[in-house]
Amino acid sequence: MTKSFIHLTPESMPASLEGELEAEGLVRRRAWVKFLRNMDAPPPEARSSLDIREIGPEHAMDFARIAAFGFDMAEESEPMIAGLVGRPGWHLFMSFDGDRPAGTGALFVRDGMGWCDWGAT
């Protein structure tokens, strides 16, 4: 493995952790954007010329190829990503330009909470 990442929310990170990770030779590379939305108001309307739909196994490898490329992951990771299709809690979506896969996104839901992931084009 040539790259590893540790993603923690600031609320869950002990104050000493950053120093401990640096002492082990790890360096800060990037941060992930996190969004929150007030659930009292309806979501804003979104428009696109692309068709967005939840996918099944027939598009699992298309999803994996786009997501792996978008996240700079090795081609060998694609079967693992494709394996998310149909797993409990996971909802995988793709955008299509006609019949051509164009983008990916996923929603994991458990206990009334959702987590978005795998957004790539």
Q: What is the pLDDT of residue 1?
A: 59
The CATH code belonging to domain 10-120 is 3.40.630
Contact 119, 104 (CB under 8 A): yes
pLDDT value of residue 90: 98
Would the pLDDT of 29 be above 70? yes
pLDDT band at 121, cuts 50/70/90?
very high
Q: Closest Cα to residue 109, out of 98, 117, 119?
A: 117
Residue 111 has pLDDT above 80, yes or no: yes
Task: For 46, list phi and psi in degrees, rounded to 5.
Answer: -115, 135
- The winner for highest mean pLDDT among 7-21, 56-70, 102-116 is 56-70
109 vs 91: CA distance, rounded Å? 8
The pTM of this model reads: 0.71
Neighbouring residues of 84: CB distance < 8 A, sequence distance ≥ 6? 60, 90, 92, 106, 118
